[in-house]
C-alpha cells in the first residue's frame, strides 16, 4: 500500500458529552454546561448526549428516553444553538461505536485499570462490572476523535479520561505511522467551580446518582426546593473565613463559597471580602437567592421545551445527520489506515 496523506485536523473544533442519567445537577451546570454556550462564538461545537455511555450501568429504557430529552432541553435552555452547531444523542451516530472498537485494540488493559472512575463505579465487586464500564474511556476517546476535535470542556473529574484519550491518539498515530492524524486534545476546565461537592458531605462530588436528593441541586428544582436544600446544607459552627487559607479542613464551607462565587461570577477571594466573618445563616440566604435567580429562567425554558418532545426529537435527529456527515470521512480514513479492504 502506498502511504497516503490526510487533511489536517480542524483547529477550532470542540466536542463534549454528558450522560442522560437522572437529573442534571448544579455540578453539571457549573462544571460543564455553563461553559459550553460561550465556546460557540469561537469554535465549531458538537455537544452529545452520551446514551451509549449511560448503559455501562443498567438504565430503565423509559427513564433513559426521558432523560435524553431532558438533557437536550437543558442544553438548549442554557444557550446551545442546535442550528449553528451540533446537538445529538450518541447512538444516532454508529461511527462512535466503530471507532471505539478500534480503540479497544489500541488502549492497554493497564491504562484502563488505573481509571479512578472505573474503580469508583465498579465498587468492591469488579468481577460483576460490565465490560462496557471498563472500556468506557475508549468510547469517550472515540466520541472526540471521530471528529478529530482538539478542545474538550469538562469538569475536573474527566481530566484523567482525557489524558487516556490522548494516550490512545498518540499510540494510534505512532503505531500506524500517521503523525498528527489524531490531534492532541486540550481539556478546557473552566470557571470557579470545576468540582462542585455534595451538600451533605463536602468530600464527595455532587452527583446525579447520589441516593440522597438533598445532596444536590437539580436543574429542575423549584425555588422552595433550592432554598430548603441550601438551608439544610451541612456546615460547621465557625463563621466564614476571611481568606481561602481558612478553608483548611472545612470542605463544606469551601464548597458553598465556591458555588456562590461561580453563580455570581466572582473569585472566591472577592466573595470572602464580602462575606468573611459572617455566619452561615445570612450567607445561605444570599446563596439561595443567587441560585434561584440563576436557575429559574433555565428551568422554565426547559419546561417550555419539554412540552413539545417531538420537536426535541427532530432537533436531535438533525444533529445526528450533521454529526454522521462530519465523522464519516474520519472513520473512512481510519479503515484505510488500518488496512481494511473497503470501497473508500
User: Dihedral sign, CA of 207, 87, 165, 20?
Assistant: positive
Residue 221 interacts with which of ligand TRP, ligand AMP, none, CB < 5 to 8 Å by class: none
Is-catalytic flag, 121? yes
Side-chain-facing half-sphere of 119: CA atoms under 13 Å? 8
Q: Does 51 bind ligand TRP (CB under 6 A)?
A: no
CA distance 205 to 218: 14
Closest to 97 in 3D by CA, of 29, 143, 148, 32: 143
Please identify, using beta-carbon distances, which residue of 208 and 266 lies nearer to ligand TRP.
Answer: 208
Interface contacts to ligand AMP, rule CB under 6 A: 18-19, 27-28, 31-32, 154-155, 157-158, 194-196, 205-206, 208
- Active-site annotation holds for 205: yes
Out of 13, 34, 53, 284, name the contact with ligand TRP by CB under 6 A.
Answer: 53
Active site residue 119: no
Could you identify the residue written with the cell 475536573? Answer: 156
Q: Choose between 26 and 271: whose C-beta lies nearer to ligand TRP.
A: 26
Region from 11-19, 119-127, 235-243, 294-302 binding ligand TRP, contact rule CB under 6 A: 11-19
Question: Among ligand TRP, ligand AMP, none, what binds residue 196 when CB lies within 5 to 8 Å by partner kind?
Answer: ligand AMP
Dihedrals φ, ψ of 14, to 5°? -110, 140
* Distance, CA of 268 to CA of 15 (rounded, Å): 29
Which of ligand TRP, ligand AMP, none is residue 15 near (CB under 5 to 8 Å by kind)?
A: ligand TRP
Give min distance, CB of 33 to ligand AMP, in A. Answer: 7
3-class SS at 89? strand
Residue 299's binding partner out of ligand TRP, ligand AMP, none, with CB under 5 to 8 Å set by partner kind: none
Considering only residues 157 through 176, tell me which ones interact with ligand TRP, judged by CB under 6 A: 158, 161
Please, which residues bridge with residue 152 across strands?
187
| Per-residue cell: 161 | 479520561
CB 260 within 8 A of CB 270: no
| Catalytically active residues, by annotation | 121, 205, 208
Amino acid at each position: 500500500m502506498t502511504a497516503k496523506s490526510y487533511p489536517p485536523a480542524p483547529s477550532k473544533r470542540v466536542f463534549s458529552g454528558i450522560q442522560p442519567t437522572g437529573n442534571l445537577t448544579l455540578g453539571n451546570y457549573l462544571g460543564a454546561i455553563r461553559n459550553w454556550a460561550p465556546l460557540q462564538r469561537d469554535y465549531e461545537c458538537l455537544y452529545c448526549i452520551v446514551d451509549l455511555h449511560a448503559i455501562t450501568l443498567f438504565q430503565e429504557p423509559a427513564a433513559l428516553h426521558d432523560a435524553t430529552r431532558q438533557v437536550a432541553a437543558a442544553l438548549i435552555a442554557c444557550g446551545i444553538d442546535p442550528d449553528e452547531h451540533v446537538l445529538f444523542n450518541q447512538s444516532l451516530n454508529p461511527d462512535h461505536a466503530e471507532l471505539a472498537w478500534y480503540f479497544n485494540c489500541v488502549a492497554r488493559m493497564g491504562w484502563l485499570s488505573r481509571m479512578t472512575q472505573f474503580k469508583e463505579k465498579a465498587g468492591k465487586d469488579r468481577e460483576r462490572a460490565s465490560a462496557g464500564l471498563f472500556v468506557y474511556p475508549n468510547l469517550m476517546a472515540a466520541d472526540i476523535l471521530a471528529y478529530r476535535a482538539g478542545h474538550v470542556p469538562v469538569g475536573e473529574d474527566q481530566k484523567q479520561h482525557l489524558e487516556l484519550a490522548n494516550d490512545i491518539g498518540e499510540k494510534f498515530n505512532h503505531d500506524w505511522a500517521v503523525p498528527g492524524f489524531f490531534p492532541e486534545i486540550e481539556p478546557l476546565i473552566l470557571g470557579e467551580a470545576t468540582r462542585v461537592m455534595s451538600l451533605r458531605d463536602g468530600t464527595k462530588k455532587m452527583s446525579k446518582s447520589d441516593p440522597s436528593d438533598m445532596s444536590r441541586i437539580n436543574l429542575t428544582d423549584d425555588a422552595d426546593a433550592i432554598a430548603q436544600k441550601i438551608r439544610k446544607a451541612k456546615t460547621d459552627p465557625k463563621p466564614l473565613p476571611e481568606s481561602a487559607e481558612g478553608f483548611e479542613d472545612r470542605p463544606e464551607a469551601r464548597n458553598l463559597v465556591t458555588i456562590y462565587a461561580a453563580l455570581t461570577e466572582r473569585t472566591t477571594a472577592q466573595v470572602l471580602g464580602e462575606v468573611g466573618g459572617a455566619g452561615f445563616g445570612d450567607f445561605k440566604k444570599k446563596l439561595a437567592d443567587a441560585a434561584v435567580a440563576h436557575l429559574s429562567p433555565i428551568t422554565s425554558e426547559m419546561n417550555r421545551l419539554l412540552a413539545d418532545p417531538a420537536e426535541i426529537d427532530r432537533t436531535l435527529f438533525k444533529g445526528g445527520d450533521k454529526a454522521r456527515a462530519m465523522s464519516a470521512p474520519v472513520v473512512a480514513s481510519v479503515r484505510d489506515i488500518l488496512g481494511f479492504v473497503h470501497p473508500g
